[in-house]
Structure formats: structure tokens, C-alpha cells
Structure 1
């Protein structure tokens, strides 16, 4: 067995619980500590998931001696400060998407990780799903011909009160940062860096986007059409099309266990792909692999890619008029 990796988790919300569940499926992962701003919440989380320690502050976990990597699962506006805290304490960080609120914050975090030679990765878990790997293999093999288009969507009806995090501008609310990053990131992973973007959005009563659509032109010449919504439960599909046909990640692309190829001659074939645990297992495996190898970034989600995607989201928000407090910092 490989040497165990000792994880800490900052935050005790829904995404933290999902990641802790994923760690439980990995025999070489240890949940060494969890931190909350409330000791009671940290204690309850630790008891439920078997964490070795519970901390009533993020600073206490960052200072702990027996933690290798920290998963940051706090609200978007806290990501930058939390990542800087963890990195300054000498620990690697896996930062939940959206990586930060804007590119300026992301640049600060990446610069510190590089200066300290510490592992840092955006927790874009869909990048590491075997279904995406298989889709890339099919494309590279030329099965669907010359690829020129990606269509992807992600939306659900967010039946929450307006005080909920997803609608609160002070907590980085809005469909783009929560959901739009998924189709944006996966489109860029398939067609390459984004050269330009055009966006439209519907702005809700709290001033954040409740649904957004954007069209991307990629450096290689291809185009992608992406959307996200808190108003509609969309198919959640991702399709890549070329001159000979298309390949689709089935079900909702972030849960895909199969991919289907459909060609111009009318033939189709479906390939089963693994999907470990709740899906977050795959990104945890990659983070651990990189950490053990002494890498400071993953080739599957590089620092430069994270920065580039944050800049695209900044431009989308500029076009649709969504502004956060972090954008006003000089």
C-alpha cells in the first residue's frame, strides 16, 4: 500500500461532507482533522466521519503538524484567504471550485504555492472522471473526425430562499460560479484555451445571475455553447461533435458512467466507464498521486488553466454586470 495521505478539511457544509465520504472509500487516505468556526460543528463532523481531530478555527487546523493536504470547502469568498492560510502553514491545498471569486485572488494563491513549492489544485472533480478520459481517447483516435463544437449545460431549480448562499452576493452567489464553471472548464479541456467569450444572463433580485449562457471561441478554432441555471433542471449533457459524428457523456455529464459514440453512417456504440464512490474519489486520487510525486500542480488541472478560466469568468461577469465585493478591492 502507498504511504497514507493525511487530509484536513476546512468547512463542514454539504460539499465537505461529500468529500469526506469520498475519502472514506480510499484505504490510503486518512481524515486527520476537520475545522469549523464552531467547535461544536467540527466535533459533530469529526464524529460522523471518523476524523482524528476537530478544530474550532481554521488557523488551528492549518497549524496542526499531522496534516499533508487540506481540502478547502468554505464559501467562494473565503477560498483565497483560506488557501493562503494553508499554504503559508506549509500544507498543500485542494480548493473547491470556483477556485476564488476573481482572477486577482487566484493569481495571489497560485503565486504563493509556486513560491513555496507546495501542491495546489482546483477541485474540478469532473476533470478526473474516467468518462472524460474515455471521451478524449475517442476524439484523439479520430472516431468522430475533426472536432469543432462542444455543447454543455448544467442547471437545476434552486428552490431556496433569497437568503441562501447561492443567491447571496456576499457569499459569491450566482449560477456562473456555482454551476457555469463546470461546462466552461470541461469545454476548455476538450477544445483548448478560450480565445473570446460572449455572454448573456438573467439577473435575479439579489443582483447575481440566476441563469447564464455563453459562447466560447477556442484557440484551436472550435466553438462551445454553454449554459447554467438556477431556474431550470436542464439535461446536464455534454456533447462533442466532429465531421463524422459525435460523442456524448450520458446521463448528467458529472455523473456519467457511459459515453456514446454516434456516427454519420447511423452506427452507435456505448462504452461503460468507471465511477468510483460519489465521483469525488477521482480528484482525491489525483491530488494524492501528485502530492506523493512531489508535484505542485496536476497536469489534468494546471495552475495556468485555473487562472485562464477565472479570467474568462471575470469577463463573463463584466459582460452581464455581476460584481462582488472582491472586485472592488484595489
Structure 2
């Protein structure tokens, strides 16, 4: 007997929504049934591009449908917490784009709701699924690699309010709660240590966007392993996240799904972080288990970000 397709609702028609559509096409037995958009013309163009049969603008009406079992929130960061609460209240499984919220109080509230829901509720902490970081965690757990210092660089050029595809954006991205969230979570996850010392400094706010364009953050584990995070929206050049693992045995360089040694030689790894992340969401639903990067497991990172935000303020 053929397994019934898992029917998904995608909310959002921006750049990251396209990433989800591309990788979901590699997952058998999954069907994106409907797209809830913010701008009708953009949503219809997106649905036509990816073959989504239905478009809606009313999220609550779409959530009321019995045939939709799970939701992917690929919307602007400021909307995540309120929309996640509505998805959980509707009894649907949820994959929420990072970050789950922009305030600790909101993160704690929706995590409590997620825990009580009995549904799979997961955050897109993609670094946990990128092949280089999974390999480093394996080596750390096995005692094959002793980390001394993780140096994380996150670079974009965002002096105009545009997304990763260069398209105009109607909301302002957040360097701490979104981009630093990836690396703070990665460090805590790698070492299984959420009781980190944290400190930081920020540059001046952009005169129009109203956000600091540069951050310098420091972390230290209970085992005295260091992490240094440099983040900038002012960088002209290669964009993305770059990680230098400085260890007792060697130094390794990670970027997306590639891992290189200190000579720059590519090390053999397989996997795609976005695809493996979305596969984990689907697998957790089908197997009735807690996913990697569940709301509960990501909440300690939000507490660390809150401590950093208070210091920076």
C-alpha cells in the first residue's frame, strides 16, 4: 500500500521559502498543498514557479483545513512568535525558520505551548545539520578532536534593506537574534553546554535601518573553550558564514557543507544542511518523536541571546 502523502502548508514567499521548496522536492511522500503569502502577486508568482496548487492570504483559514498536517513558517523574523502560536493552537506540526522569536519572553511562551501540544515543533537551526559541523561534533564526542577556539565570521552587505537574492525587503533583519543565533546555538550544541559566559560589543546603528551593522561577541564554555564571533552587514565580498575550528590536533575550516584542512584541501563529506534539516522534520512527524532542533532544545540559545542583548543595550 502506498503511504499517504504528508500535506504541508508553506507560509511566506521570500528567499528562504524557495530554499525549502527546492529541498522538499527531494523528500518522497511530501506535498506542499497551499502557500499563504503576504503579497498576493508575489505569492502567486512563487506558487507558479514551484508548482504549488493553491494560494491563500488568510493564514487562519488555511490552518483550519483538516487536510493540512504540518506547516513551515518562512516569514519575516518579527512574525515568527505570533504565527508559531497560531500554528500550535491549530494542532499542526511546525517547522519555524530561525529565530523562533526576537524576545526571550516570546520564545519561552511558544516553547511551553509546543511542549504541551504533542506535535513536532522544530526550529530551522540549520548549522546543526550542516555536514562539517556534524562531523566536528562526532569528533568531539569521540575524543578525536579537542577544540580550543571556534572563530565564526558572518558577513553580508546589507546597507540597503534587501534579502539574500537582492530583492527589496519590507522588514529589517536582526544581526543578533537571527544571524548570531546560528553560531551561538552551534557552539552550545557542539559542546552540549548552555551555561556559557557571554560578552559583546556592537557598532553604531545604521542611520536609516536603525540597527547596529557590526557585532563582536565572545563565548566561553565551562571547559574554557573559546568562541569568537564577528558579524557584519558592512562587508563587501564573499557572504555567508565561515567557521575556523582551532583544535589541539589540527585546524579545520567549515563553510556551508564543505570542510577543509588548514592546507585548504577539501575533506570528503556528504550531506546538505537544508535538505537534512527538512528531512528530519518530516521523519520526526512520521516516527512520532522529538526532532533535533526542537523548540525545547533551542530555548537555551534564546536565553544566551537575551543575556547578550542585555549587555549590548
**What aligned pairs does 1:224-303 form with structure 2 within 5 A after superposition?**
224-232=227-235, 233=237, 236-249=241-254, 253=255, 255-257=256-258, 259-261=259-261, 270-276=266-272, 279-295=273-289, 297-298=290-291, 300-303=292-295
Residues 223, 32 of structure 1: CA spacing in aligned structure 2 closer, same or farther, 3 A cutoff? Answer: same
1:261-280: per-residue Cα shift (whole Å, max 9, x none)? 45xxxx9974222244xx42
Q: Give the CA deviation at 1:162.
A: 9.2
Structure-2 separation of matches of 1:215 and 1:196: 8
Structure-1 separation of matches of 2:271 and 2:114: 30
Residues 271, 203 of structure 1: CA spacing in aligned structure 2 closer, same or farther, 3 A cutoff? Answer: same
1:309 and 2:301 correspond: yes
Name the SS of the counterpart of 2:137 in structure 1: helix
Q: Give the CA deviation at 1:74.
A: 1.3
Structure-1 separation of matches of 2:163 and 2:186: 30
Q: Note the aligned Cα RMSD (angstroms).
A: 2.7
Is the 2:152–2:243 contact (alpha carbons within 8 Å) kept by the matching residues of 1?
A: yes
Q: Give the CA deviation at 1:26.
A: 2.1
Most deviating of 74-83 and 310-319: 310-319
Structure-1 separation of matches of 2:172 and 2:64: 27
Name the SS of the counterpart of 1:237 in structure 2: strand
Most deviating of 47-56 and 113-122: 47-56
Name the SS of the counterpart of 1:25 in structure 2: coil
Is the 1:101–1:172 contact (alpha carbons within 8 Å) kept by the matching residues of 2?
A: no
1:113-145: per-residue Cα shift (whole Å, max 9, x none)? 11111111111122112222222223334333x
Most deviating of 134-143 and 77-86: 134-143
Structure-1 separation of matches of 2:162 and 2:246: 38
Q: Give the CA deviation at 1:32.
A: 1.3
Normalised to the residue count of structure 2, the TM-score between the two structures is 0.87
Gaps of 5+ in 2: none
**What aligned pairs does 1:104-119 form with structure 2 within 5 A after superposition?**
104-119=105-120
**What aligned pairs does 1:172-183 form with structure 2 within 5 A after superposition?**
173-183=173-183
Q: What is the number of equivalent residue pairs in this alignment?
A: 304
Most deviating of 32-41 and 102-111: 32-41
Structure-2 separation of matches of 1:28 and 1:159: 41
Is the 1:174–1:210 contact (alpha carbons within 8 Å) kept by the matching residues of 2?
A: no
Is the 1:194–1:216 contact (alpha carbons within 8 Å) kept by the matching residues of 2?
A: no
Q: Give the CA deviation at 1:172.
A: 5.6
1:26 and 2:27 correspond: yes
Structure-2 separation of matches of 1:214 and 1:182: 13
Gaps of 5+ in 1: 322-330
Structure-2 separation of matches of 1:153 and 1:21: 26
1:216 and 2:219 correspond: yes
Aligned to 1:324: none
Is the 1:38–1:57 contact (alpha carbons within 8 Å) kept by the matching residues of 2?
A: no
Structure-2 separation of matches of 1:171 and 1:107: 23
Q: Give the CA deviation at 1:248.
A: 2.5
Is the 1:2–1:28 contact (alpha carbons within 8 Å) kept by the matching residues of 2?
A: yes
